[in-house]
A = this chain, B = another copy of it.
């Protein structure tokens, strides 16, 4: 196994530069990504991009996958940094790290969690990495959940329980359905609040954004049973 040739190294550097330029474009133009624009920014002719990506959709897919990965890394790092702390602290650290990433990369966040990009349909590969954040939340809940508060006034609807059971079995896990259910509630809430904040729906409503986020996520920590 020889070291990658010069050509191969230059090629992968160029690939990175293309993706970086595309990310910068996304940040400016929203979800409309123009190949010609990217090429222009790189001082390159548009058709040259086809040496690196067979089509616009493939470039978009690469950006989406890497964004999921970046988000997952952020969450994992936040958890690792606060490991040793109690689960509630870890929970809040992970949630805040997701928010920080979203605020720092609003366009990429929109790509992942906004309305679907017109004319683009995500290949199946993009589904798996989307699950990383929720896995991390499950891990923390599993480590620290004392008891669900409040105890459920009505039991889980049977069809919902079946869906959750199936998901748990797919992971060969022994998680109780109730815990996964609550984590999903928290996960839904996390991205619901982030959408509101990133897409401007809190404008002229809530100004204390960070405190508001902490407040919501603390409530979710309660719900999941973290003390």
- Report the separation of the CA atoms of residues A159 and B190 in the bound assembly, to the nearest whole angstrom: 20
Chain A: interface residue total (CB-CB under 8 A): 53
Answer whether residue A97 sits at the interface, using C-beta atoms and an 8 A cutoff: no
Q: Chain copies in the assembly? A: 2
Assuming the contacts A32-B118, A110-B115, asked whether A188 and B159 have C-beta atoms less than 8 A apart, the reply is: no
Classify the secondary structure of A's interface with B.
helix
Among residues 154 to 176 in chain A, which have CB atoms less than 8 Å away from a CB atom of chain B? Answer: 154, 156-157, 159-160, 162-163, 167
Q: How far is the CB of A26 from chain B (nearest CB, A)?
A: 10
- Report the separation of the CA atoms of residues A185 and B219 in the bound assembly, to the nearest whole angstrom: 9
Say whether A150 contacts B215, CB under 8 Å.
no
Among residues 175 to 214 in chain A, which have CB atoms less than 8 Å away from a CB atom of chain B? Answer: 181, 184-185, 188-193, 195-196, 199-201, 204-208, 211-212, 214
